[in-house]
Chains A and B, each alone.
Chain A
């Protein structure tokens, strides 16, 4: 099956810093999503981004499908950004086969 690798596995930053999280995948994908899992375990949809660039406030994401990677940018980090960030992909087209998740990047923002 498809492999999804995220880097770095852990990241500790001071409040106000910027960060870039990377997701590499081993095969062509039709869908790619970024999620934030907060300290209470809730999964929050950040971006649905099979290709191109999107922005939402301090967060933005870029997927270069032809080179099989996606980047999540977090600017001016806040303590509420702490948690685990997951990249997940689907290569079946309509989502029929479910998502394959990476192991995540554990982000800690210190005040």
Chain B
């Protein structure tokens, strides 16, 4: 049981390039999330999904798109990277509708630098 995994672990992009971050979970969780963490701060929610085929905006969604085509995967896309998107990105999942506890489990993070 690998839990929540993220690919890649590190990436350097030039301004204007695009990329996709992949999150996968093997716990059959309904809900999945993408957060970003900037230096000296807590995590902030970018987008989330409450089930296959659904997505919703979080606190800081601008510049990102997401897709949840399969229950176990949640993709985060940057269409045209900007230096302000330099951050560490965390994916998380939560059992969702199966009832409490609604504990979130986090992946190891992806460190992205945009130059």
Contacts and interface: CB of A to CB of B under 8 A. Distances in A.
B4 to A, nearest CB: 10
Q: How large is the interface on A (under 10, 10 to 19, 20 to 34, 35 or more residues)?
A: 20 to 34
A88 interface: yes
Find the residue from B44, B102, B105 having the highest chain A CB count within 10 A. B102
A109 B72 CA distance: 38
Interface string A31-72: 101010000011101001000000000000000000000000
Contacts of A25: none
B74 interface: no
Contacts of B42: 4, 86, 88, 101-104
Interface in B47-67: 48, 50, 58-59
B31 A95 contact: yes
B108 A98 contact: no
B48 A48 contact: no
B31 A99 contact: no
